[in-house]
Amino acid sequence: MKLRTRILMLAVLSMFGLRAIAQNVATPSAGAANVETANSDYVTVGSRLPYFVNTDATIQGMTDAGTMKASIFSWNVTNAADVNVAGASILNYAGAAAAQYDKFRVPTAGTGYFDNEISILWGGPTFTAGTAYKVKVAEKSVTNSATIEGCEDATPEVKDIFVLARPTVAFVGTEGGGCATAPGSSFNVPLTVTGLGNWDVTYTVSYNGAAASGPATYTLTLAAPAVTDANVITESTSARVTGATEGLSYTLPAAQFGYYDVTITNITDRISRKSMVPLTAAGAAGTFRIYVSPTPATSPIQHIRNL
């Protein structure tokens, strides 16, 4: 690479670095760009997710130069009818209450203006699973004056939010195995699941009634539904039953006959794993017992001596 070209590239990178340092919130925090589509987002009830917008480039340049203050942002959550949701909390990325600003960027509680990155806790009783909402945001510039207001975008950006139920899991039956199952082979524990896979199933196993092993996680893959905004709520609660070669695949230890009790302690799908906070574990009720029975080898017939 020619020296002049390398110098030019370094200068461009340096410019971007300085700009990032000066920006109010330079780049999305980890996970902030994890969206389902360009115009909508699917979230699990009880989860907390971040949302981020860039500052207008012209205003950002003026903020960097010191000729304007950093912008403020009007964030709102509405229902599908575009009515503000009472009790919706706008939080900062870490989850604490977000700082609010008045029209001159002076911290003032209750103004409804925040920074350009916030997070929302999609939990009850404010939000209900199986319901559509909207997140709206409009940027407002802030002058250096104490009396002259800046300008607010009259057309807020809008993202449709679909709050989905937690994934569920249940055993199909209570026991399986038998003579067709041998130590060292894999056994597929039959399950019924809801949610949008893939699913991570956390489980423990107890052998012959002994203490359970430490938890392990198995990724369950089933045919993915064609999820769209029109059917995502229905698909997220549609039960799917694993087939003969699916289910929770457990490899039976070699040379250990007896029975194995499988207990599921948690299940997550790709939507619930987006949450910034751990969701309450949701496992299957009860256990599923796998019987591993040896097939006997009949001994030769022996003549019994006459008495």
Position 267 scores a pLDDT of 97
Position 36 scores a pLDDT of 61
Sorted by sequence, the CB contacts under 8 Å of residue 80 that are 6+ apart come out as: 131, 132, 133, 134
Position 11 scores a pLDDT of 41
Position 29 scores a pLDDT of 42
Sorted by sequence, the CB contacts under 8 Å of residue 231 that are 6+ apart come out as: 225
Position 235 scores a pLDDT of 94
DSSP one-letter code for 65: H
Q: Rounded to 10 degrees, what is the CA torsion of 50, 51, 57, 62?
A: -60
Position 180 scores a pLDDT of 86
Distance CA 12, CA 175 (A): 65
Least Cα distance to 82 among 157, 153, 134, 160 occurs for 134
Give tens-digit pLDDT for 151-168.
999 999 999 999 999 999
Sorted by sequence, the CB contacts under 8 Å of residue 181 that are 6+ apart come out as: 187, 252, 290, 291, 292, 293
DSSP one-letter code for 236: H
Position 23 scores a pLDDT of 34
Low-confidence ranges of the chain (pLDDT < 50): 1-35
Distance CA 109, CA 95 (A): 17
Fold of 24-164: Immunoglobulin-like (2.60.40)
The reply to whether 169-292 shares the fold of 24-164 is yes
Give tens-digit pLDDT for 96-148.
999 999 999 999 999 999 999 999 999 988 999 999 999 999 999 999 999 99
DSSP one-letter code for 72: E
- How do the domains of the chain map onto residue ranges? 24-164, 169-292
Q: For residues 166 and 44, is the Cβ–Cβ distance under 8 A?
A: yes
Is domain 169-292 annotated with CATH 2.60.40?
Answer: yes
Distance CA 82, CA 61 (A): 33
Which element (helix H / strand E) includes 53?
none
Q: Report the relative pairing of strands 258-268 and 199-207 from DSSP bridges.
A: antiparallel
